[in-house]
Amino acid sequence: MCGRYAASFHPEDLVERMEIEADRSGERTRSVLSRPQEPPVGAPDYNMAPTKEAPVVLTRNVDDAPVRQLRMLTWGLVPSWAKDTKTAYRMINARAETLFDKGAYAKAASARRCLVPATGWYEWQASPTQTDAKGKPRKQPFFTRRADEDLLAFAGLYEFWRDRALADDDPDAWLVSFTIITTAAEPGLDRIHDRQPVVLDRDDWATWLDPAVTDPDDVRRVLNSQPTGRFEAWPVSTAVSSSRSNGPGLIEAVPRSQLHGVVDPQTGEVLE
């Protein structure tokens, strides 16, 4: 976790909802994908996968004043010291518990924090009773969102990477990427998976984005102060397991009659 999420909105939908002061989501950015992104960058995406470009909110100083911006960044952190962009495929998450113990994340945690808007996220539950054709526990995807249906904002970090092989004026000289911070899953959700993204409540957005907040204790305080019981989750089609699948049908609930060996996250009951 978190390896897939839904961002079922257009960037312009976020401007008012997230109090964006500068919408730069339309600016050209470097991609690590070998083929054009589908759906196109900026379109609603119900199956946001690693290495895609996704809407991210961050605050940068402009003329010595902080400005909240909306940008399209690559999911999968590429540290400034990386030799190439391959780390984007494996640094999609950062553990909250060890954020300041890892060189790839520590500086970003103090200076380059962001919010990752989402409708909800997917996680796969390993069945305690059912196996697949290979004899491994059958995995049932679940979709989790806020119970009040409000927008989610994952806590994230972002980083700049310079391609030294390109000239300064080459638009592909810089890659800006992000990672999503995860923590131990709360009661109920831990029946689906043992990890979950850190979802920040609206009252903490400004503090999280504030470039002046650099003390590790203050950063940890925001991460650790999020309440439990805000979410609801339900099983969805296994179609989401393919990154090529998309559309609102991915977040629709699977009828209970079609579920076998699935653990109800609310009750712990195994559905047979």
Choosing from 2, 53, 114, 159, the catalytic residue is 2
Helix (H, G, I), strand (E, B) or coil at 265: coil
The count of other CB atoms within 10 Å of the CB of residue 24 is 15
Dist CA 205 CA 56 (whole Å) = 13
For 89-150, give the secondary structure using H, E and C. HCCCEEEHHHHHHCCCCHHHHHHCEEEEEECEEEEEEEEEEEECCCCCEEEEEEEEEECCCC
C-beta of residue 140 within 8 angstroms of C-beta of residue 128: no
Distance CA(212)–CA(71), nearest Å, equals 20
Q: Active site includes 2?
A: yes
DSSP string, 11-54: HHHHHHHTT-SEE-TTS------SS--SSPTTS-EEEE-TTSEE
Our separate counts of H helices and E strands in the chain read 4, 15
Q: Which of 53, 114, 123, 159 is catalytic?
A: 123
Q: Residue 23 is encoded by which pair of tokens?
A: 């919408």
Catalytic residue positions, numbered = 2, 123
